[in-house]
């Protein structure tokens, strides 16, 4: 899976580079941050799935909205915040205006790729 994650991170970074005009060193940093983020979220998702498989059908705590689900959601949100902060830290003042224009749509695509687990597609 790491090859699929690296490919998707590379594709998403290239997309951002074309929109914001990232330098080579920024591309490297953003790609690394995306790989870390995607790997963390995939690990969290896999842990969540494994936890759900272990629960018995009669276990009422397996219902949606359980404290376990909330814990996984918080872990994913923390990973997202961390990655977003790292990416924003490499954006220069000259790029900030363009970044502000594309940030939400680009980051939405990143989250969509990760949450739909479409890293190999």
pLDDT one digit per residue (tens) for the chain, 121 residues: 578 999 999 999 999 999 999 999 999 999 999 999 999 998 888 887 776 666 655 555 544 555 566 788 899 999 999 999 999 999 999 999 999 999 999 999 999 998 886 554 4
Integer angstrom CA distances of residue 117 from 8, 31, 52, 84, 114? 11, 18, 17, 19, 5
**Residue 36 is assigned to a structural domain of this protein:** yes
Q: What is the dihedral of CA 117, 121, 40, 106, to 10 degrees?
A: -90
**pLDDT reported for residue 55:** 64
Q: Which two tokens stand for residue 7?
A: 């490919």
Sign of CA dihedral 97, 86, 51, 63: negative
User: CA 34, CA 87: separation in Å to the nearest integer?
Assistant: 8
**Residue 60 is assigned to a structural domain of this protein:** no
**Residue 121 is assigned to a structural domain of this protein:** no
User: CA 100, CA 121: separation in Å to the nearest integer?
Assistant: 28
**Residue 18 is assigned to a structural domain of this protein:** yes
Report the domain count for the chain.
1
**Residue 59 is assigned to a structural domain of this protein:** no
Residue 83 burial by Cβ neighbours in a 10 Å radius (0-12, 13-18, 19+): buried
pTM: 0.80
**Residue 69 is assigned to a structural domain of this protein:** yes
**Residue 33 is assigned to a structural domain of this protein:** yes
Contact 22, 95 (CB under 8 A): yes
**pLDDT reported for residue 46:** 83
Range of the domain at 40: 2-53+65-115
């Amino acid at each position: 899976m790491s090859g699929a994650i690296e490919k998707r991170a590379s594709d998403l970074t290239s997309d951002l580079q074309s929109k914001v005009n990232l330098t080579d060193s920024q591309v490297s940093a953003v790609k690394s941050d995306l790989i870390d983020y995607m790997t963390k979220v995939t690990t969290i998702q896999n842990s969540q799935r494994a936890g759900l498989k272990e629960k018995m059908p009669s276990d009422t705590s397996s219902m949606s909205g359980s404290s376990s689900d909330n814990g996984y959601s918080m872990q994913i949100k923390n990973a997202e915040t961390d990655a977003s902060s790292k990416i924003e830290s490499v954006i220069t003042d000259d790029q900030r205006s363009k970044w502000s224009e594309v940030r939400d749509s680009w980051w939405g695509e990143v989250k969509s790729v990760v949450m739909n687990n479409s890293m190999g597609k």
